[in-house]
Amino acid sequence: MEATNKIRMVVGSWGSYNACNSKAMGSKWIDFDDFDDWDEVVEELEKQGFDLEGIDEELFVQDIEFIDCNVNWDYMSPATFFTTIKESGILYSDNYYDLAEAVIEALSFDEWSDFVDKHGENWVDYFCFYDYSNSWNVERDFGIDQFKSEGIDLGYLENYFDFEAYGKDIIDEGNYHKVSGGILECCY
C-alpha cells in the first residue's frame, strides 16, 4: 500500500553531534513509508555509517516533516516516533491525518501519542472532527448543524435565532475544541 501522507525525519546522534564528526549533521531523510518497522530503519542507519553500539547509541530526531506542533523533537526517541506514526494509520489515510492534526492542535502530541499507544489505529474512535474549513463563521455553522442533528427544522425562524452564540455555548460547555478549519469533539 502506498502512503498518501509523506512523513519523514533525519535521525541525529548526540555522540556524533558532540564529537562534531561526519555524522554530526545526521542521517539522510528517512521516509516512513519506505520501512515496515524500526529494525529496518536501524539497518538503514548502519548502512549510512552509524555506530549504534558505540558513539551513535543515543539517537534523536534532528529534522522532521510532519504536522506543525510545539514539540521539542531533540528529546523525542526516533524509534518511539516512528512506531507511533506507523501504528496510528495516518500514513495511509488522509482522514486519519487530518484528525491527528486537529487532536495535536487541540490537545498535544503527547496526548495523541498516548491514544495511539493504547488503541492503535482505533484511536480515531475517540474523536470526531467537524470540518468547517470553508466557513466564514465556524461557531454559527456548528450551531446550525447541532440543531439539524436533533431533527429540528426552524424554517423561516432560522433568520431570528443566534446560532453563533448557540454554537459557542456548545463548544465552551462540552468536550469540543475550536481548531484550524473546524471543531474537534473528544468522545471519551
Task: State pLDDT tens for residues 87-144.
Answer: 999 999 999 999 999 999 999 999 999 999 999 999 999 999 999 999 999 999 999 9
Residue 153 has which C-alpha cell?
A: 427544522
Matching residue, cell 471543531: 183
Banded pLDDT at 71 (limits 50, 70, 90): confident
Look at 102 and 3; give whichever has higher pLDDT.
Answer: 102
Same-domain pairing of 64 and 31: yes
Same domain, 41 and 112: no
CA distances from 46 to 37, 41, 89, 98 (A): 15, 9, 27, 34
Shared domain for 58 and 127, answered yes or no, is: no
Would the pLDDT of 1 be above 70? Answer: no
Within 8 A by CB and 6+ apart from 173, the residues are none
Residues 185 and 113 in one domain: yes
Lookup result for grid cell 455553522: 141
- Residue 76 sits in the same domain as residue 136: no
Residue 23's pLDDT is what? 87
Instruction: For residues 81 and 154, state if they share a domain.
Output: no
CA–CA–CA angle 47, 86, 9 (5° rounding): 50
pLDDT digits (tens, 9 = 90+) for 147-185: 888 888 878 877 889 999 999 999 998 899 999 989 999
Query: pLDDT at position 157, please?
Result: 76
pLDDT at residue 170, rounded to an integer? 92
pLDDT for res 150: 87
Q: How far apart, in whole angstroms, are the C-alpha atoms of residue 182 and residue 25?
A: 38
Domain boundary among 70, 92, 114: 92
pLDDT for position 187:
94
**Cell of residue 155, nine digits:** 424554517
Print the domain residue range for 150. 94-188
Residues 62 and 146 placed together within one structural domain of the fold: no
CB 135 within 8 A of CB 141: yes
Q: Do 186 and 110 share a domain, yes or no?
A: yes
Give kind and range of the element (H or E) at residue 41. helix 38-47
Domain check: are 21 and 52 in the same one? yes
What's the grid cell of residue 42?
A: 536501524
What pLDDT does 138 receive? 94
What gap in Å lies between CA 147 and CA 97, rounded to an integer?
28
Structural domain count of the chain: 2
Residues 83 and 152 in one domain: no
User: Do 124 and 75 fall within a single domain?
Assistant: no
Instruction: List all residues 6 or more positions away from 187 whose beta carbon is below 8 Å from its beta carbon.
Output: 125, 126, 127, 128, 175
Residue ending a domain, choose from 59, 92, 125:
92
Where does a domain end: 43, 59, 92?
92
Q: How confident is residue 22, by pLDDT bands cut at 50, 70 and 90?
A: confident
Q: Tell me if 15 sits within 8 A of 57, measured CB to CB.
A: yes
Q: Note the pLDDT of residue 126.
A: 97
Q: Indicate whether 2 and 85 sit together in one domain.
A: yes
